[in-house]
Amino acid sequence: MVESVPSNAAEDEPDRPEDDKESRASSDASSASSAPGDSSSSGAGEGDTRSAKRNKQRSFWKELPILIVVALVLAFLIQQFVARVYMIPSGSMEKTLHGCPGCTPDRILVDKVTYHFTDPAPGDVVVFRGPDAWVEDDPPSESSDNPIASFFQNIGSVFGLAPPDERDFVKRIIATGGQTVECCDDRNRVMVDGKPLDEPYIYWQGGKAEQREFGPVKVPENTVWVMGDNRNNSSDSRFQGGGGERGAVPVENIIGKARLIVLPPSRWAVVSDHNPQEASEQNAALSAPAWQQGLPLAAGALAAWPTLFVSRKIGSGVRRWVSRRRGRER
C-alpha cells in the first residue's frame, strides 16, 4: 500500500517537474516583491491610511450639526415634559432656596412627572404659573423686541441660564383644597383645620419671629394655599389677588415639584418636602402625659419573661424531637 505524501513536504519530492519549479520560482518572486521593506507597497499603504483619515474627518464634521440638533431637541423634550431647571429670582424661599440680592441664585431641578400620578401635598415646594389674580396688576413681561435676542433669552430660560417667565413662582404648599388655613395661634403658628403646623423651614429675615395674621380662609377645591419660607418677605397666597380665596393657586397651574438644587455646586442638596401637617400630628402624639408615654416600656417589661419562658419551652421540645429522629435512624 502506498501512503499519500503531504503537499508541503518539498524535500520528499526530488522528481518534481520543471514547470512546477518555474511556477514555484515565480511565486517566490511575487512574495519578495510584496515584502514589508518594499517602498512602493509602504507608500500605497500610507496613502490609503491618509485617505481614510480624511474621509473620517469629513464624515465627523458633516454629522456634527445633526448631533447638535438632536441633542437640543432631546433636551427640549426632556425640559418640557420630564424635568426642567429653574433659576430662583428672589429671596422669598430663603434659606431653603437662595435668591437673595448679591448671592448666586440657586438653580433647581423641577420634576414635571410626579403630579401626573399623585396630588400636590402640604410641604411640597412647587413651581407654578401665576394665576390671573396674581398677575393682573403686574407690568408686561420685559422681553427683548429683537427676535434674535429674544430667542437666546428663551433658550437660556429653558436651560436655567436666564430667569424664567416672570409669571412663574416658587412657593411651599401649606394647605390643599377643602382645608381651612389661618394665622395665628397663641404661639404665632399657622393653623390648618384648627391644628398648628410644624414649620422648621421658616426663615425670619431681620430676626423678628412674628407672622402677620390672616384668615380663616377655606381653600377652594382643586387649589392649594402657598407661602414662602422667608415668611415675612414673601408675597404669597396671603396677599396676592387681595388675599383670601383669590390667593389660592389652581392645581392645574402647578408646573412641577422642586427636587434638587443643581447649581451652584456648593449648594447641591435635595429640596425639603417636610409635611408640616403630619409632623404637627406626630408632635401632638408625643406630647402625651409622662405616665402614658411609659406604658409601652412597662408592657414590654411585663411581656419579656413570658415570651422568654415560652421560647425556651419550644426550643427544648424541638431539640428532643430532633434527638428522637436521630435515634430511630441509627
Catalytic residue, from 112, 171, 218, 257: name it: 171
Is 171 a known active-site residue?
yes
Among 121, 93, 131, 94, CA closest to 242 = 131
Catalytic residue, from 90, 92, 157, 280: name it: 92
Is 311 a known active-site residue?
no
Residues contacting 100, CB < 8 A, separation 6+: 91, 94
Classify residue 252 by burial, with Cβ atoms within 10 Å: 0-12, 13-18, 19+: exposed
Rg (CA), the chain: 39
25 HSE (CA, 13 A, CB side): 6
HEC profile for the chain? CCCCCCCCCHHHCCCCCHHHHHHHHHHHHHHHHCCCCCHHHHHHHHHHHHHHHHHHHHHHHHHHHHHHHHHHHHHHHHHHHCEEEEECCCCCCCCCCCCCCCCCCCEEEEECCHHHCCCCCCCCEEEEECCHHHHCCCCCCCCCCCHHHHHHHHHHHHCCCCCCCCCEEEEEEEEECCCEEEECCCCCCEEECCEECCCCCCCCCCCCCCCCCEEEEECCCCEEEEECCCCCCCCCCCCHHHCHHHHCEEHHHEEEEEEEEEECHHHCEECCCCCHHHHHHHHHHHCCCHHHHCHHHHHHHHHHHHHHHHHHHHHHHHHHHHHHHHHHHC
Among 92, 114, 125, 31, CA closest to 239 = 92
The residues assigned a catalytic role are 92, 171
